């Protein structure tokens, strides 16, 4: 039986310690060492497989993440580190770096699955995600800050690659455009 309350308390302690990322990573690895128990504990919080913050304060967010199959996000940043654990499905992460001319370029592509373990996104990471057709993704993210209220974040217009202030509604519009583009290319 996975004790979600204890996990949250342990994460709260870890993020104010002198080694927050290392300690949260160990907590995540322990949590994912018994994926069925973790899944069951998350189902008990709410049986719906939807995105839901399970805890949030100014130095920590624990987010249940559910991404539909065939989803594509635009490039965006978080301005805080994140630990990503996948319980089901897969999430392709495209990591970008800034270029000297003020743009961004691909640095690395990684496909995260339940088998790839806990993935760390650096605080300065810029990324875009996608899920495969027919494979919804379900997982748990822990952020080293309040991702729900973080200001000054950026996203990139997929057409022009212009860096824009992060805006959730506009981000979702970009997602729709990118998904439609992928579907028409398939
Ligand atoms: Fe992200």
- Summarize pLDDT for 120-178 with one digit per residue, the tens: 999 999 999 999 999 999 999 999 999 999 999 999 999 999 999 999 999 999 999 99
- Report residue 184's pLDDT band, with 50, 70 and 90 as the boundaries: very high
What spacing in Å lies between the alpha carbon of 73 and ligand 1's midpoint?
Answer: 8
Which CA distances in Å does 175 have to 15, 100, 128, 143, 166?
A: 31, 27, 10, 22, 13
Q: What is the pLDDT of residue 44?
A: 86
Q: What integer is the mean pLDDT of 103-116?
A: 97
pLDDT tens figures, 48-87: 778 999 999 999 999 999 999 999 999 999 999 999 999 9
Q: What is the pLDDT of residue 43?
A: 86
End-to-end CA distance of the chain: 43
**Residue count (the chain):** 186
pLDDT tens figures, 26-36: 999 999 999 99
- Report residue 186's pLDDT band, with 50, 70 and 90 as the boundaries: confident
Q: Which domain holds residue 106?
A: 4-185
What spacing in Å lies between the alpha carbon of 127 and ligand 1's midpoint?
Answer: 6
Domain count, the chain: 1
Give the single-character DSSP code of 116: S
Q: Is the pLDDT of residue 47 over 80?
A: no
Angle at 69 between CA 174 and CA 67, to 5 degrees: 70
Q: Is the pLDDT of residue 3 over 90?
A: yes
CATH of the domain at 150: 2.60.120.10
Contact indicator for 133, 72 with CB cutoff of 8 Å: no
- Report residue 10's pLDDT band, with 50, 70 and 90 as the boundaries: very high
Q: What is the pLDDT of residue 89?
A: 97
What spacing in Å lies between the alpha carbon of 129 and ligand 1's midpoint?
Answer: 7
Q: What is the pLDDT of residue 162?
A: 96
What spacing in Å lies between the alpha carbon of 102 and ligand 1's midpoint?
Answer: 20
Q: What is the pLDDT of residue 72?
A: 97
Which CA distances in Å does 11 have to 22, 51, 156, 174?
A: 11, 19, 31, 33
What spacing in Å lies between the alpha carbon of 186 and ligand 1's midpoint?
Answer: 24
């Amino acid at each position: 039986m996975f004790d979600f309350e204890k996990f949250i308390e342990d994460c709260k302690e870890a993020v104010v310690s002198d080694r927050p990322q290392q300690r949260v990573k160990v907590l995540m690895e322990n949590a994912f060492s018994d994926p069925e128990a973790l899944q069951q504990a998350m189902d008990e919080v709410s049986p719906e497989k939807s995105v839901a913050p399970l805890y949030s304060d100014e130095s920590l967010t624990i987010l249940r993440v559910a991404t539909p199959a065939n989803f594509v996000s635009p490039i965006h940043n978080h301005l805080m580190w994140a630990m990503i654990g996948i319980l089901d499905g897969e999430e392709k992460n495209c990591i970008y770096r800034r270029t000297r001319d003020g743009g961004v370029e691909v640095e690395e592509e990684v496909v995260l699955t339940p088998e790839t373990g806990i993935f760390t996104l650096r605080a300065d990471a810029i990324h875009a995600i996608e899920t495969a057709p027919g494979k919804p993704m379900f997982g748990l993210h822990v952020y080293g800050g309040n991702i729900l209220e973080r200001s000054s974040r950026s996203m990139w217009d997929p057409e022009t690659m212009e860096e824009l202030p992060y805006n959730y509604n506009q981000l979702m519009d970009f997602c729709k455009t990118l998904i439609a583009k992928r579907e028409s290319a398939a």
